[in-house]
Amino acid sequence: MPPVAPSSAKVRSLAERWNEVRRCLRLYVEIQEMNENGDYHPVEIETSPEVLVGGMYQLRQGHQRRLKIDLKPLAHDTGTLPLVVDSIRSVAMGCVRV
């Protein structure tokens, strides 16, 4: 019995399948420092040609800090995968230079 060729309707490339299941997200990060009144305010961001994304945060030594993170799915350029972001479980920081 000769092998049966799969129908073209059922065979999809990996790129086509990836376009269906991928989701594009935008991550916003804000570093806040506590001021002398006990209120948190965003720190300054300095832009530089050497830093291609986000800029450099101007942190002051000895101040209490917290991160404000917002994660949003992008409406365009995404697939059909139903993804609901209701919480962020953990955050890791790295590449801190003094």
More confident residue, 25 or 67: 67
pTM of the model: 0.60
- Give the pLDDT of residue 32: 95
Looking at residue 15, the DSSP 8-state letter turns out to be H
Q: Whole-angstrom Cα distance, residue 88 to residue 71?
A: 8
Q: Where residue 37 falls among pLDDT bands split at 50, 70, 90?
A: very high
What is the DSSP track for 32-88?
EEE-TTS-EEEPPEE--TT--SS-EE-PPTT--EEEEEEEEE-SSS--S--------
